[in-house]
Amino acid sequence: MSNTVVVGTQWGDEGKGKVVDLLTAKADLVVRFQGGNNAGHTLVVEGKQFIFHIIPSGILYEDKKCLIGNGLVVDPEVLLEEIESLKAAGIEVGPKRMSLSDKAHIIMPYHQAIDLAREVFKGGDKIGTTGRGIGPCYEDKMTRTGIRAIDLTEPEVLEQKIKENLKEKNFYLTKFFNAEPLDRKSILDKYLLMAEKLQPFITDVSLEIGHALKANKNILFEGAQGTHLDVDHGTYPYVTSSNPVSGAACAGAGIGPNQLHHVLGIVKAYTTRVGAGPFVTELTDETGDYIQEQGKEFGATTGRRRRCGWLDLAVIRDSARLNGLNSLAITKLDILTGLEKLQICTGYKLNNEQIYHRPASLKKMALCVPVYKEMPGWQEDISQARRMDQLPAEAQGYLKTIEEIADVPISLISVGPDREETIMVQNPFCISTLNSG
C-alpha cells in the first residue's frame, strides 16, 4: 500500500490534472479533498481534451474509483453536467465508479448571487473570485448553517434549511446590495430534481477510504488550486476559501496523517496566476506574451487570461515547507523552448535585505524585487524526450537548479500536454518517502 497526495505549489493551474491522470495508473482510488468548481483540471489523452471541475480526473480510467471528499463544496448542477459530458464522450459514471461524501457542502443559488454581488460592490478592489459561490458556501459551513449532501436525501430537512437560510440571504441581497430576492419554491423544486439523480452517489467517503486502506489499496489524493491560494498560508486576501495544502487531505477526506506516504508538489516551469494579487516575477513584456501564447494560458474555469512570469523559487521553497514535499513534478517545460535566456527567481530584495520567503504583508511583498539567476535557454523540440538524458543540456541544467534551490528531488517532468509526453524519473507510488530537507 502506498498513498500519494498531489498538491499545487504556486497559485494553481500547475498541471495537476495531467499528473493525477498519469499516477492513477498505479492507484486504486482517486480522492478529491477540497475546493469546488472554481478550479479546473485540463488534460489531453490521445489528442482529446478533457476539463474537470469537480470529478477527479482519474475517472478516465475505467477500473478506478473516484471519490469526492467532505472537504469540497459541490454545485450539484455542475456535477451532473460533468457526468453527462463524460457520458457523451463514452465514459459511464455510476455509483460503482464515483462516490460523493454525505458530508460535502452544497452550493446554493444564494451563494452564487452573494458572490457576484460582492464583486460588483467592491469595484476596483474586488478579489477576483470566479463568482461560483465557493466562498459564501464555505462561510455557511463555518457558521453551521450549510446544506450538506446528506440533506439531499431528506427532502423535509432540505426544505427547512432553504427556508431558514433565505430569510437572511434575501435580506442581505436586497437591503445591502440592492439585488433581487430569490424564490424559495423554485430553488427547492430544482434541487429536489437534482437530489433524485445524485442520491445513488451519496455515501460515507471516509468509511469507503477506510475499507480501501484495510485492503492495502493505493490511494491518490488530489487537491485543487495551489499552496499560495491557501486561505491560511497564501497571499491573503487574494486566496481561495479552502486549504489546498497537503495536510488538508486528512480533514477533507476523513483519514489520519499516518496514512499519507508521499507528497508530490506540482511546479509549472514558469509562474502564472489568475485574477488579482501580488506577483513578484510577473512579465508584462514580449516574453510574458510569448509564454502566455505558447502555454495557452487561459483559465480552464473562467477563460480569463493568466498572468505569466518567471519561475519563483522563493514561492516553491515556501511550498516545500508548508506541504512537506517529498518530490516535485515539473510541468510545461516545453513551453520555455525557443527562449534564448531564462531567469529563475532565487529570492527577493526587500529594503536592501535579501530574503528567501514570501512575506505575509502585501505592502512588503509589493516592495519585493526579484533576485534572478540567469540561465541559457534551448531551441530543440523536447516533446519526444522520455529520459532525462534525452533533454538538451540547458534544460537539464534548469531542472538541476530547481532541485538544488528547492532542496526537493524531481520525480516527473512533463514535456507536452499528452499523457505520453512525460519523463518519469521515479513514480511516487513506487518510491519510499523521501525527506524534503
Is 378 a member of any domain?
A: yes
Residues 240 and 171 reside in one and the same domain: no
347, β-bridge pairs: 371
Please give the Cα distance from 55 to 137 (Å, whole number): 18
Same domain flag for 50 and 69: yes
Taking only the tens of pLDDT, the chain with its 437 residues reads 789 999 999 999 999 988 998 999 999 999 999 999 977 767 677 777 788 889 988 898 989 999 999 999 999 999 999 999 999 989 989 999 999 999 999 999 999 999 999 988 887 666 667 789 999 999 999 999 999 999 999 999 999 999 999 999 999 999 999 999 999 999 999 999 999 999 999 999 999 999 999 999 999 999 999 999 999 999 999 999 999 999 999 999 999 999 999 999 999 999 999 888 999 999 999 999 999 999 999 876 667 789 999 999 999 999 999 999 999 999 999 999 999 999 999 999 999 999 999 999 999 999 999 999 999 999 999 999 999 999 999 999 999 999 999 999 999 999 999 989 999 999 888 764 443 33
Is 207 a member of any domain? no
Told to judge if 262 belongs to the known catalytic residues of this protein, a careful annotator would answer no
DSSP state of 223: -
Catalytic residue among 21, 41, 228, 334, which? Answer: 41
In a domain, 135, yes or no: yes
**Stretch (H or E) spanning 263:** strand 262-268
Q: If you write DSSP's letter for every residue of 169-185 in order, what string do you get?
A: HHHIIIIIS-PPP--HH
97 lies in the same domain as 109 = no
Half-sphere exposure of 20 (CA within 13 A, CB side): 32
Distance CA 391, CA 376 (A): 14
Which residue, 244, 249, 248, 245, is CA-closest to 221?
Answer: 249
Beta-bridge partners for 185: none
Q: Report how many domains make up the chain.
A: 3
70 and 167 in a common domain? no
CATH number where 125 lies: 1.10.300.10
- Tell whether 320 and 390 lie within a shared domain: yes
Query: What does the alpha-carbon distance between residue 297 and residue 272 come to, in Å, rounded to a whole number?
Result: 8
411 in the same domain as 290? yes
Q: Which amino acid is at 196?
A: E
92 and 12 both lie in a single domain:
yes
* Amino acid 47: pLDDT: 73
Query: Which residue range is the domain that position 421 belongs to?
Result: 267-430
Looking at the fold, whether 273 and 374 belong to one and the same domain comes out as yes
Nearest-angstrom CA–CA distance, 384 and 261: 31
Total Cβ atoms within 10 A of residue 88: 8
Residue 41 annotated among the catalytic residues of the structure: yes
CATH code of the domain containing 219: 3.40.440.10
CA dihedral 298, 300, 301, 302 (to 10 degrees): 20
Tell whether 229 and 91 lie within a shared domain: yes
Helix (H) or strand (E) holding 203: strand 202-203
* Statement to judge: residues 393 and 244 lie in one domain: no
Are the C-beta atoms of 107 and 68 separated by less than 8 Å? no
Show the cell assigned to 310: 518567471
Domain with residue 363: its CATH number is 3.90.170.10
20 φ/ψ angles, rounded to the nearest 5 degrees: -60, -40
- Asked if the structure places residue 437 within a domain, the reply is no
